[in-house]
Amino acid sequence: MRRLLLPLGLIAPFVARAARGLPRALGAETATLQRIAATSPHARDGRFVNTEPAAPLDRAAILPSVWGKITAPGSPGRPPGPVPVVPGVPDGPAGALAVTWFGHASALLEIDGQRVLTDPMWSERASPSPVIGPRRMHPVPAVLERLPALDVIVISHDHYDHLDVASVETLRDTTAAPFVVPLGIGAHLRSWGVPDARITELDWGGSTRVGDLTITCAEARHFSGRGLARDTTLWSSWVVAGPAHRVYFGGDTGYTAAFARAGAELGPFDLTLLPVGAYSDLWPDIHMNPEEAVAAHRDLRGGMLVPIHWATFDLGFHSWAEPVTRLVEAAAGDPGMPVRIAIPRPGQRIDVTAPDAAPSANVGTDEWWNRLT
């Protein structure tokens, strides 16, 4: 018995620390979320569903891959050296069309003089636990409290790498910006103390106005859930349209016919931010690969494409830089219709209207990711 109690005594503090804050991080109760889902035509039996069904996850095949990733020496999913970041925050008035990518799906958009923050995720781990779960591969380039005044915050869905309780609480206390979110996410925000007056929840196709911007909840192909219950909140992409410019923020999604519909009905788009990482044949319909991102950009009738959802958290089985290596090749694949791309370092601001961002230029494609040692 004494031999048993000794390791338990060593493990107990770690378990306690790993579980610290877990109930708060989970967010709203499942019963509350199911009542909200029941109001949407895109839900059945209290659960949201994709218009195009996704292939079910083959858990029997996934487990050996996860075990191999955990036990293998080193990880190709992590860079061989420090990811270069551009520290600081944009200053001065918001531009006509610019984007600062902070890593993963967190970006600061400047659209016709207004600022939009997407999927703010400033925590060290994409997890409800401070000690377990995917850890950052690079520091956050900017202090969240020092961002310039925000006009609106949009969130794509409730997974931990996109909806982060600590970041939400910081923004709750340091900004007056409203949160525009898919159905159900508002219940999470309210459980974390965000005033109801600062929350707008939308179903696919719904829109709201913030200043001169029209923000539209666009259909995505994904799933949701922060605990054992899945799909009790909606997932979405976002269209942000100003008087002169339009941006499509993909959030997290698999390839879908909804891109072509959005391009025809809400486009064309001067800028698209589309996910390119954490893809796998084991889950082919819920994350896009780089070639699918290029196809989606074309469907959306996009101008410049900035890849997101890569280089910050190791969430797949591919090597860390494979997404952008393949993206560069796919973007140049059709000589008659090359796709204009920008691949910034975390923290780098891309002015889409600048002379060096002319239609024939690819900004930031100096392959900085290949020079890490």
Q: How far apart are CA 117 and CA 152, in angstroms?
A: 7
Which tens digits make up the pLDDT trace of 223-270?
A: 999 988 999 999 999 999 999 999 999 999 999 999 999 999 999 999
pLDDT at res. 141: 97
Residue 35 in domain: no
Instruction: Please compute the mean of the pLDDT values over residues 147-167 and round it to a whole number.
Output: 98
Q: Among residues 320, 337, 328, which one has the least CA distance to residue 363?
A: 328
Left (φ > 0), alpha (ψ -120 to 50) or beta: where does 88 sit? left
Which tens digits make up the pLDDT trace of 75-106?
A: 788 999 999 999 999 999 999 999 999 999 99
pLDDT at res. 15: 47
Q: Kind and range of the H or E element at 97? A: strand 97-103
Q: How far apart are CA 49 and CA 54, in angstroms?
A: 9
Which tens digits make up the pLDDT trace of 28-58?
A: 999 999 999 999 999 999 999 999 988 877 6
Which tens digits make up the pLDDT trace of 5-27?
A: 445 454 545 444 555 657 789 99
pLDDT at res. 24: 86
Helix 290-299 to helix 322-331 angle, to the nearest 10 degrees? 40
**C-beta of residue 81 within 8 angstroms of C-beta of residue 372:** yes
Q: Among residues 239, 240, 200, 242, which one has the least CA distance to residue 219?
A: 239
> How far apart, in Å, are the Cα atoms of 268 and each of 46, 91, 166, 335?
34, 29, 35, 21
Residue 244 in domain: yes
Residue 49 in domain: no
- Please tell me the pTM assigned to this model: 0.92
Which tens digits make up the pLDDT trace of 170-200?
A: 999 999 999 999 999 999 999 999 999 999 9
Residue 272 in domain: yes
CATH classification at residue 210: 3.60.15.10
In the Cβ-directed half-sphere of 182, how many Cα atoms lie within 13 Å? 36
pLDDT at res. 6: 47
Q: Kind and range of the H or E element at 302? A: strand 302-308
Residue 313 in domain: yes
Residue 84 in domain: no
pLDDT at res. 336: 74
Left (φ > 0), alpha (ψ -120 to 50) or beta: where does 320 sit? alpha
Tell me the pLDDT band of 364, cut-offs 50, 70 and 90.
low
Residues of the domain holding 208: 97-371
Which tens digits make up the pLDDT trace of 312-324?
A: 999 999 999 999 9
**Residue 361 reports pLDDT greater than 50:** no
Q: Which sign does the torsion angle of CA 193, 195, 198, 201 carry?
A: positive
**Residue 72 reports pLDDT greater than 90:** no
The residue to which tokens 């909806």 are assigned: 163
Residue 177 in domain: yes
Which tens digits make up the pLDDT trace of 105-129?
A: 999 999 999 999 999 999 999 999 9
Q: How far apart are CA 276 and CA 6, in angstroms?
A: 46
Residue 307 in domain: yes
Q: How far apart are CA 48 and CA 71, in angstroms?
A: 35
The residue to which tokens 């004494």 are assigned: 2
Q: Looking at the 3D structure of the chain, how many domains does it have?
A: 1
The residue to which tokens 């909840």 are assigned: 217
Radius of gyration for the alpha carbons in the chain, expressed in angstroms and rounded: 20
pLDDT at res. 1: 52
Average pLDDT of the residues of the chain:
90
pLDDT at res. 372: 86
- Three-class secondary structure of residue 211 per DSSP: coil
Q: Which sign does the torsion angle of CA 284, 218, 178, 28 carry?
A: negative
